[in-house]
Structure 1
Amino acid sequence: IKTSLKMLICLLGHTLIICRWVQDGDLKFPLESVKKLKELMDGSRHINPRMRVPMASYSPCQEKHLPEEFQPVCKREDAPMVFRRLSLAAEDDLCEICANAACAGCF
């Protein structure tokens, strides 16, 4: 996956490196908020398929449960792509343990 995410800034744990932040360019968000964003975006998939907006152009900015730290993203022209990349970063516990190659920036 081509991504401009610097991806993850991690904190060293006992035997595992646990990621706490997800970064996309100059934007940095807590992992827990990114997980909530992913849940919100995944919830939009359960809408009638004829009414659904393609994920590449979907922006959760009008969702009332959007975590507050994502409001500045809503003002950006590239908001749908930022949200899409953040959603991908939270897939399948990719961010939980920095043992994955996509987990760049761990220390």
Structure 2
Amino acid sequence: MNWIILIIAGLFETGFATCLGKAQETTGRESYFWWGGFVLSLFISMYLMYKAISIGHNPIPIGTAYAVWTGIGAVGGVLAGIFIFNEPATFWRMFFVTTLIASVVGLKFVSA
């Protein structure tokens, strides 16, 4: 269960990064909407990561949880950049995103 909570926390990290990017692109009321999404996503992400490292009989070690959380956020940020902000999807970007995903999965398998 802690791993599912941590994955959701990582997705909210992607959400707060995306909201931050959209807040920079907008003005007025729309900007406030994106800033609100940023703050809400940030709070939920941090709270869920806290829960993943502190609940149950088998909590995830903080070093592993932080690496996985940032990895999910980084991959999500790159994908949001490509699909929402029209950033380039070059071979090397996709290659390193793939290695990042492999590293996150590897941490899951070697963690107790």
Q: Same fold (TM over 0.5)?
A: no
Higher relative contact order (CA 8 A, sep 6+): 1
Structure with greater proportional strand content: 1
TM-score by length of 2: 0.30
Structure with greater proportional helix content: 2
Q: Which has the larger radius of gyration?
A: 2
